[in-house]
Amino acid sequence: MIAFNYETEFQLDNEEKTTNWIEECVEKEGFELGEINYIFCDDDYLHKINVEFLQHDTLTDIISFDYTLGKLIGGDIFISVDRVAENAKEFEVSFKNELHRVIIHGVLHYMGYKDKSEEEKQLMRDRENQCLHKLNN
């Protein structure tokens, strides 16, 4: 089950389409969807979580708390729509494209993909692109 929660004025355009897309990406990787909660918020909200739980005094676009058990994925994914908008400008992509990339990024972490090394970042980006391609077709 996927739940979308809002701590800001932002609202997803099509929750059902987004849910179906996430489910498809999860199944393609050989995992089963458990419970994922998305919490859309602003920079201040996510900054407080970053400081309190991760001891990082920085802004970020996403923080995910992973509750995955084996192949049953689940967790809480906090997304700052402020950061997503800034990143979209910086990377010269649409807000929607950057938002979807961040949405699937958190799920890919639950499936074991990392992004610390350059090699890991490239593999993560490849998987993000594969999932984005599914959404746009």
Q: Supply the pLDDT for residue 31.
A: 96
Q: Supply the pLDDT for residue 136.
A: 75
Rounded to the nearest 5°, which phi and psi values hold at 78?
Answer: -95, 130
pLDDT (mean) for 54-63: 87
Rounded to an integer, what is the distance from CA 87 to the centroid of its chain? 14
Q: What is the pTM of this model?
A: 0.92
* pLDDT of 137 over the 80 cut: no
Q: Supply the pLDDT for residue 48.
A: 94
Rounded to the nearest 5°, which phi and psi values hold at 67?
Answer: -115, 25
- Is 44 within any annotated ligand binding site? no
- Is 109 within any annotated ligand binding site? yes
* pLDDT of 80 over the 70 cut: yes
Helix axes 95-110, 81-91, angle to 10 degrees: 110
Separation of alpha carbons 94 and 92, rounded Å? 7
Q: What six digits make up the tokens of 53? A: 């739980």
- Is 56 within any annotated ligand binding site? no
pLDDT tier, 58 (very low <50, low <70, confident <90, very high otherwise):
confident
Q: Supply the pLDDT for residue 112.
A: 93
Write the CATH number for 45: 3.40.390.30
| Total domains, the chain | 1
Residue-range definition of the domain harbouring residue 97 = 2-136
- Give the count of beta carbons closer than 10 Å to the beta carbon of residue 8: 16
